[in-house]
Amino acid sequence: MKKFLPILMFLLIFSPKIGGTIDSMSMFCLLTFVLSFTIDNKLVFSREAIRPTLLYIFFGLFMVGYVTILKAVYGLADNYQIMRFGRVVVNVVGIFSLVRLYIHYYGSNYGRELLYSLWLSVVAHAALIAVMFFVPAVNQFVITQLVQMDEANRTFERRIEGTRIGGLTSTWDAASGVLSLGILLLPYIFNYRGAYQIRKIWIYLSIPLCLFAILLSGVTGIVNLFVVGTLIVILNFKRLKKYVFRTLTFLFLFVVVVSGILLTFFNDVNWAQKSWVTNTSIGRTIYMVTGEEQYYSMARRNPTANETIDKIGSKMYFLPEGDKKLLFGRGGSGRSSDYIIDGDPGITLNLHNLGIVFVIIVYSYCIFMVLSSVLQTRKDLVMGMAITAVLLTILTIDAKVMYLLARQSLSIMLIAYYSLFWLKSSKYNASIS
């Protein structure tokens, strides 16, 4: 059973929503709950994490009642929010049960193994995306048999043709952002699992794999690498300043090498105009990173990077009209026949759908967790940075598309959440200061 725990974690993160209605992740959560009680008859869990777990469950149940009232008041046909918070409770129970299994098999080391398995899950998903790109039959199988996307879906055609690949997720931006964790978690992975040369080589090989998968999914992962990487350095500058010069040198050489490769290939018009470049997300992503107009025209993508930033900044963030809607929300999804919200960021949709009180409570708690993980870098620098990277990544993605309480993001945040509570209660003396 111990060797299958990373696979179980993968299923609790990336299990698809079949046919747009059947939530296979919830099924695996319930299965994990049952499995957790086959190990013993005692509730194996640290006291530090039981209280916040119960608070999470209480929050989900409270919100189910709240959005049910909003649905009745506004006479909505949309059940999205009720299903959303009901699934939050199921997710928490599933990850809680998964952590119990990790405690049973890894004992006092479970916190580190949770983060390691999270990294393995992200890299595995990157590998799946790469396979879907190179083997169209696999892509078609995933879309039609696993994800089972409706043919009427606006993204179905592009996904079935492989022009942009999201793997087992339903949103490209989120997939790209999550894939960046395969790189952001590397300092922790090298510190924890990089003692042997052969294993270290495999870890290095995960870098181009994750970068390639990011390019196939979208630009969000590249942006997240820059944003989260910069924030982590700023938040831990006193302890990282001795590594800054070395890191900047590596990044400079990396950028020079990658830019040289891109320039070499793209200056060859025959190569640059190949369909797998011009008709996929690769060309657009390369353009938005390099800013070269010739790549943009070859990629046949719009808008430009500046236009995208301007649209997000000026048109995607806006308040609800009316004090009542601002305070309490409207209880729907903002994507149904009840009403349409022309904005993607999580904070905008949550403001319109659930009100300002909900937004303040949830985002404040997220910020509190980030600050707690930053403080824990004093105990273990690389693990504290890894947990911080996970939490900041989810918040960064949510700033682009509503993701904070989505199926994948909640599971990922809860894994980091339990690792944080393990680190706070651990008596482990970090070897890196």
Q: Provide the β-strand partners of residue 335.
A: 340
pLDDT for the residue numbered 197? 83
pLDDT for the residue numbered 301? 55
pLDDT for the residue numbered 199? 86
- Per-residue pLDDT of the chain (433 residues), as tens digits, is 788 999 999 999 998 877 666 788 889 999 999 998 887 655 556 566 787 788 889 999 999 999 999 999 988 888 889 999 999 999 999 999 999 899 888 888 899 999 999 999 999 999 999 999 889 899 888 888 777 666 666 666 667 776 778 888 877 888 999 999 999 999 999 999 887 888 889 999 999 899 889 988 888 888 899 899 889 988 888 887 777 777 767 767 766 776 666 666 656 555 555 555 666 667 666 666 666 666 555 555 555 556 666 777 778 888 888 888 899 998 888 888 888 888 889 899 999 999 999 999 999 999 999 999 999 998 899 999 999 999 999 999 999 888 998 888 999 999 999 999 888 886 554 443 3
- Diameter of the chain by CA atoms? 66
Q: What is the pTM of this model?
A: 0.87
pLDDT for the residue numbered 121? 97
* Residues with Cβ within 8 Å of residue 21, at least 6 apart in sequence: none
User: What end-to-end distance do the CA atoms of the chain give, in Å?
Assistant: 35
pLDDT for the residue numbered 78? 85
DSSP string, 309-343: HHHHHHHS--PPSSHHHHHH--SS-SBSSS-B---
SS3 (DSSP) at 322: coil
DSSP 8-state class, residue 380: -
The answer to whether the CB of 403 falls within 8 A of the CB of 346 is yes
pLDDT for the residue numbered 146? 77
pLDDT for the residue numbered 294? 61
DSSP string, 353-389: HH-HHHHHHHHHHHHHHHHHHHHGGGT-HHHHHHHHH
SS3 (DSSP) at 303: coil
Distance of CA 148 to the CA centre of its chain: 21
pLDDT for the residue numbered 430? 43
pLDDT for the residue numbered 217? 86
